[in-house]
Amino acid sequence: GAVVSQHPSWVICKSGTSVKIECRSLDFQATTMFWYRQFPKQSLMLMATSNEGSKATYEQGVEKDKFLINHASLTLSTLTVTSAHPEDSSFYICSAEVAGRETQYFGPGTRLLVL
């Protein structure tokens, strides 16, 4: 149980295009989903926290207009990288949490390469 999936697992796109990444909790309802970014050989960095039905809370330095997060249901959150640039190339990971439980379940990640 407690499986989180991400789609796509990897994506290559041209600079200036937008890319949408989906995060789904497959067998539980996630009240909160988190989006992380990880550059090579660095730690995961929290980008934003999203609660179902409300606006995401972004960490300092993360542009909310560039990284659009939608948490439309208890099983789905999406991250859209708008007008992607090569410096946005990274590994994006989501995690999901059930209210009252202090465990986050991690997705397998999405590797984004912007050419």
Instruction: Provide the binding-site residues for another protein, judged by CB under 8 A.
Output: 32, 34, 38, 42-46, 49, 91, 93, 102-109, 111
Nearer to another protein, 51 or 80 (CB): 51
Rounded CA-CA distance 25/65 in Å is 25
Q: Which region holds residue 97: left if phi is over 0, alpha if psi is between -120 and 50, else beta?
A: beta
**Nearest distance, CB of residue 16 and another protein, angstroms:** 25
Asked if 40 and 26 touch (Cβ cutoff 8 Å), the reply is: no
Asked if 11 and 20 touch (Cβ cutoff 8 Å), the reply is: no
**Nearest distance, CB of residue 42 and another protein, angstroms:** 7
Nearer to another protein, 57 or 83 (CB): 57
**Nearest distance, CB of residue 27 and another protein, angstroms:** 15
